Amino acid sequence: MAGILSYGAYIPYYRLPRNVISKAWGQRGGSGEKAVANYDEDSITMSVAAGIDCLKGTDPKTVDALFMATTTAPYKERQNSTIVATALDLRRETRNADFANCLRAGTIAMLSANDAVNANSVKNVLVTAADMRMGGASGENEQAFGDGSAALLLGHGKVAVEIEGSYTLSDDLADNWRAHDDIFVRSWEDRFGLDEGYMKIPVEAASGVMKKYNLAPKDFAKACFYGPHGRRHSDLGRKMGFDAEQIQGPLLDMVGNTGAALPLMVLVAALEEATAGDRILLVSYGNGSDAIVLRVTGEIENIRNRRGIKNHLGIKRTLDSYERYLRWRGMVSLEAAARPERPPTSMSALWREHNTAIPLYGVKCKKCGTPQMFYNLDSTRSRICIECKAKDEFEPYRFADKGGKIVTFSQDYLSLSQDPPNTLTVVDFEGGGRGSFEMTDRDPAECKVGMPVEMTFRKMFFDRGIHNYFWKCKPARD
Amino acid sequence: MPGSIKDRVAVVGMGCTKFGERWDAGAGDLLVEAAFEAFEDAGIEPKDIQAAWVGTSRGTTGMTLSEPLRLPTIPVTRVENACATASEAFRNGCYAVAAGIYDMVLAIGVEKLKDSGVSGTGGGPSSAGHLLQAVQSGPGAFALLATSYFARYGLNVDEGKHMLARVSWKSHKNGASNRNAHFQKEISLDMILNAPIIAWPLGLYDCCGVTDGSAAAIITTPEIAKKMRKDPVYVKALQIATSPRDGKYSTKYDYTHVEATVRAAQAAYREADITKPREEISMAEVHDCFSISEAVIMEDLGFSPRGKARDDIESGFFDIDGKLPVQPDGGLKSFGHPIGASGLRMIYEMYLQLQGKADKVLNAGMPSRQIDSPRLGLTHNLGFGPEGPVAFVGILGLEGA
């Protein structure tokens, strides 16, 4: 039986308190906070972050496929999952797939992965689910939505969680939707969505799966399911027949509704506390409902060292400026800085760089052993060793997973940045090698020569239809 | 083994425009101004020029010069080497005369920066546009030098910023005396220390001006020079050092010195037979694109012992009335930095000082700018970033120096 071999998750560093949003609009209330992705993050970068967490202890070259689930893919024509797979250093011979356009995309990807593994088409699949949905300013969706991601590695063998079975209903009920041009999620009045959709269909799916496998609510240690709001979420749990202790906290209060990622993020939170023998019900919702029955095995103890949900909940900084959020999301037209326009990005040059720049590979000189990363400002491929000057005598050397220390830094207020100042750094890596990177997810005041950093996959800029991805450094916080 | 340029060529005429935001002038206008001042100073006509080198980081081909001056189909080469561009034009002109191919050449540099409409200078030097690394501004690139210099030599932020401010204060004071300078105003230490931050720890007054301007030199053989005037200025050394640009990629670079300056200086001192630069160099114009650059350059040139530039800076050793005046004309800081022209502007100041003519550009009512009987003047440029620059060191002097 196929199952889950490993899990991972990611919650962005910044949290915007809901009352800060309310205050900006002269509205009352707003409790808790929502996780907001930085200006340099998107569903691709968050999928990479969760993927890195999940692949701890697994050689990425042994992964046969990456299924990426999201409703907020950066590209409509260009395979988003392969960008994620390249960053995670998967092989070329992989069955990658984008799962999109539905809030159930995460569980749909999970079920498809399960089928693929059970059919022996592939030996394993890395499933990622990420979302960065946007609500129009001053609205309820803006308050409720949050950003985040989760990842599951499905395969055979010593699985930590068995996938026992599932039941799916597909319904074209559009309580929330976005058409091809829409940036903000559209919602019909919420009474309709609740009465006909959320409070009905997941109940049918849950009871459907329980009937199919002869199970009752009492057979489950935890119920992990999607929810738009905290109160509705607990109402639904009760309606499904679960007690309060069985209902896994939906993260809505302190992270927000993370869309297609939410069911898998809630599942990861449950797995972090689960023990052998626990049966878990996973229910997603969005144009129907998937209900999946899972059973935890003793192997769960061997995959405890993930950042997952718990660790990320504690690593955070309050974003106390709604204006800054608007700036990050491009929701206001800013006055252009009097700085030169970027020269156009070259797709052919990016292709030449993609095997090194995207997974962050440099080289190690076979003659003198010096690790090195950059050739020049535009290239991560080297020809002449910086140390011994040997030509073309290199072996590949990955820098993405190495920690580093800050050699020097500056806060640059003049260079083009979406969120000034630009924190410039030079990083010396453990094991050798040096590179120059922007620092992200930081308060400029915390920069110090010698501080430890880790590498993170981010979007450098969007220009003329191209999302330019590369790596930045961020302070090591755990 | 490379040879020496020492005393093989001489400068017989120079010109320099007013530097500043020259809304009234395009690159062509600036070239005409500087070139004709040089022709007049040398007592020659444009048709006497046999070949020319024009330095600019913009523009294309030698026609950048031959078009505005309507030169009569002579050989003109456009050269570029970042902030050492004008020095590179000068160097090429000198070698052509030393090689005996020409005996009267023009070296001229120009930059028209203020038509771009942007703050600061151009964006990243990426040719392909997919700049993967942090986008550094010019100040950002050099600010990295300041952060590590402070950390290595145990300067707290106040001590470090005061050292930097003292550098800029001195340069503005000198520039206030120079009617060609972009900024002709003294600025107090307080104003410098409290200025807005551009790239931490560098503030507004730690950064040189973005400027339009042009400067020119007429170069000939020593024999011809002696017939033309009694005080030609001789070239003693010309050295360019281009870095392999590995400072950001090799853990060996310490971010507290600039290797290319050190190497160019060592080669220049060897070429000019100088063993004790702190004693033997009378004055210098160095590349103070940022105040931290100048501080580190003092050590890289061997003027101050390594790690000790602060003592000399704070004690006034480099002031115009100090033992080794640096930036007597105000430097990049207050004279301004038109990239393609700066190298020749520095040579212009050394030229005037050596001939005793510094007060030719004195602001009315200001005390004399003339340094007392200087022997040898050093000019220095540094282009791109400390981790991988082009550096130039040139040494000039009168006959017999």
Quick one: A156 and A222 in the same domain? Answer: yes
At A27-37, the pLDDT tens digits run: 998 999 999 99
Question: Mutation test of the interface with chain B: which of A360, A373, A410, A448, choosing the one with the most B Cβ atoms within 10 A?
Answer: A410
User: CB distance from B275 to chain A under 8 Å?
Assistant: no
Residue B271 CA to residue A215 CA, distance in Å, equals 92
Interface confidence, given as ipTM, is: 0.86
pLDDT greater than 60 at residue B129? no
Interface of B with A in 22-81 (CB under 8 A): none
Quick one: A29 and A125 in the same domain? Answer: yes
Q: Which of B233, B303, B291 is nearest to B261 (CA)?
A: B303
In a domain, A334, yes or no: no
- We report the CATH number of the domain holding residue B277 as 3.40.47.10
Torsion B167-B173-B176-B177 (CA) sign: negative
pLDDT greater than 50 at residue B125? no
Over range A16-24, report the average pLDDT. Answer: 97
CB atoms A410 and B143 under 8 Å: yes
A132-170 as b/e: b if 16+ CB within 10 A: bbbbebeeebbbbbbbbbbbbbbbeeebbbbbbbbbbbe
HSE (side-chain half, CA atoms, 13 Å) at A419? 26
The pTM assigned to this predicted structure is 0.92
Last residue of a domain, one of A298, A328, A358: A328
DSSP B326-364: B-TT-HHHHH-B-TTTHHHHHHHHHHHHHTT-GGGGBPT
In a domain, B140, yes or no: no
Q: Judge contact between B202 and B291, C-beta under 8 A.
A: yes
Residue B81 is part of which domain span? Answer: 10-114+208-397
Q: Judge contact between B81 and B240, C-beta under 8 A.
A: yes
Q: Which of B215, B217, B247, B254 is nearest to B232 (CA)?
A: B217
User: CB distance from A141 to chain B under 8 Å?
Assistant: no
In a domain, A264, yes or no: yes
CB atoms B118 and A339 under 8 Å: yes
pLDDT at A418 (0 to 100): 87
Quick one: A202 and A320 in the same domain? Answer: yes
In a domain, A340, yes or no: no
pLDDT greater than 60 at residue B128? no
At A222-266, the pLDDT tens digits run: 999 999 988 899 999 999 999 999 999 999 999 999 999 999 999
Quick one: A291 and A418 in the same domain? Answer: no
Q: Which residue has the higher pLDDT, B305 or A377?
A: B305
Residue A477 CA to residue B2 CA, distance in Å, equals 54
Quick one: A89 and A206 in the same domain? Answer: yes
Quick one: A319 and A399 in the same domain? Answer: no
Give B244's contacts in chain A (Cβ within 8 Å).
Answer: 386
> What's CA A264's distance to the chain center, in Å?
11
User: CB distance from B156 to chain A under 8 Å?
Assistant: no
Confidence of residue A349 (pLDDT cuts 50, 70, 90): confident
pLDDT at B66 (0 to 100): 95
In a domain, B196, yes or no: no
In a domain, B297, yes or no: yes
- We report the CATH number of the domain holding residue A207 as 3.40.47.10
> Count of domains in chain B?
1
CB atoms B144 and A374 under 8 Å: no
pLDDT greater than 60 at residue A178? yes
Residue A463 is part of which domain span? Answer: 347-475
Q: What is the C-alpha radius of gyration for chain B, rounded to an integer number of angstroms?
A: 20
> What's CA B32's distance to the chain center, in Å?
21
Residue B367 CA to residue A220 CA, distance in Å, equals 92
Residue type, B329: D
> Count of domains in chain A?
2
pLDDT greater than 90 at residue A377? no
CB atoms B130 and A349 under 8 Å: yes
Torsion A19-A22-A23-A27 (CA) sign: negative
**Which positions of B are catalytic?**
83, 337
DSSP B221-285: -HHHHHHH-S--EEEEEEEEEE----TTT-TT--SSS-HHHHHHHHHHHHHTT-S-HHHH--EEE
CB atoms B133 and A377 under 8 Å: yes
Q: Which of A334, A342, A345, A477 is nearest to A418 (CA)?
A: A334
Q: In this structure, what are the phi and psi dihedrals at residue B140, rounded to the nearest 5 degrees?
A: -60, -45
Q: Which two tokens stand for residue A230?
A: 């905290």
Quick one: A208 and A133 in the same domain? Answer: yes
| Facing residue for A426 by CB, picked from B138, B146, B255 | B255
**What mean pLDDT, rounded, does chain A reach?**
96
In a domain, B166, yes or no: no
In a domain, B142, yes or no: no
In a domain, B143, yes or no: no
Q: Which of A322, A225, A212, A300 is nearest to A264 (CA)?
A: A225
Helix residue ranges per DSSP H, A184-276? 190-192, 201-213, 230-240, 262-273
In a domain, A453, yes or no: yes
> What's CA B211's distance to the chain center, in Å?
13
Q: Which of A196, A204, A206 is nearest to A246 (CA)?
A: A206
Residue A325 CA to residue A309 CA, distance in Å, equals 23
Quick one: A378 and A233 in the same domain? Answer: no
- Count of beta carbons in the 10 Å neighbourhood of residue B60: 8
CB pairs under 8 A between A and B: 168
Interface of B with A in 71-110 (CB under 8 A): none
Over range A208-212, report the average pLDDT. Answer: 98
Which residues, 6+ apart, have CB-to-CB distance to A418 below 8 Å?
A: A39, A40, A327, A328, A461
In a domain, B282, yes or no: yes
The region of weakest confidence among A53-57, B21-25, B262-266 is: B21-25
Cα-Cα end-to-end distance for chain A = 35
pLDDT at B94 (0 to 100): 98
Q: What is the largest CA-CA distance in chain A?
A: 71
pLDDT at B127 (0 to 100): 43
In a domain, A335, yes or no: no
Residue B325 CA to residue B366 CA, distance in Å, equals 18
At B62-75, the pLDDT tens digits run: 999 999 999 999 99
pLDDT greater than 90 at residue A140? yes
pLDDT at A341 (0 to 100): 78
User: CB distance from A341 to chain B under 8 Å?
Assistant: yes
Strands (E), A54-106: 66-70, 97-100
pLDDT at A29 (0 to 100): 84
At A298-320, the pLDDT tens digits run: 999 999 999 999 999 999 999 98
pLDDT at B126 (0 to 100): 41
At B360-372, the pLDDT tens digits run: 999 999 999 999 9
Quick one: A295 and A402 in the same domain? Answer: no
Q: Judge contact between A373 and A434, C-beta under 8 A.
A: yes
Quick one: A353 and A214 in the same domain? Answer: no
**A379-385: long-range pairs with CB below 8 Å, 24+:** A379/A352, A379/A353, A380/A353, A380/A356, A380/B132, A381/A352, A381/A353, A381/A356
Over range A261-272, report the average pLDDT. Answer: 98
pLDDT greater than 90 at residue B192? yes
Last residue of a domain, one of A270, A294, A328: A328
At B75-110, the pLDDT tens digits run: 999 999 999 999 999 999 999 999 999 999 999 999
Quick one: A149 and A86 in the same domain? Answer: yes
Residue A44 CA to residue A50 CA, distance in Å, equals 10
CB atoms B200 and A421 under 8 Å: yes
Question: In a 3-state reduction of DSSP, which class is residue A298?
Answer: helix
Over range A54-68, report the average pLDDT. Answer: 98
- Count of beta carbons in the 10 Å neighbourhood of residue B244: 13
Which residues, 6+ apart, have CB-to-CB distance to A11 below 8 Å?
A: A35, A148, A255, A265, A309, A312, A313, A315, A316
| Facing residue for A415 by CB, picked from B130, B132, B135 | B135
Quick one: A396 and A305 in the same domain? Answer: no
CA triple A118-A121-A126, angle to 5 deg: 75
In a domain, B39, yes or no: yes
Q: Which two tokens stand for residue B281?
A: 């160099």
Q: In this structure, what are the phi and psi dihedrals at residue A129, rounded to the nearest 5 degrees?
A: -135, 125
Last residue of a domain, one of A296, A328, A360: A328
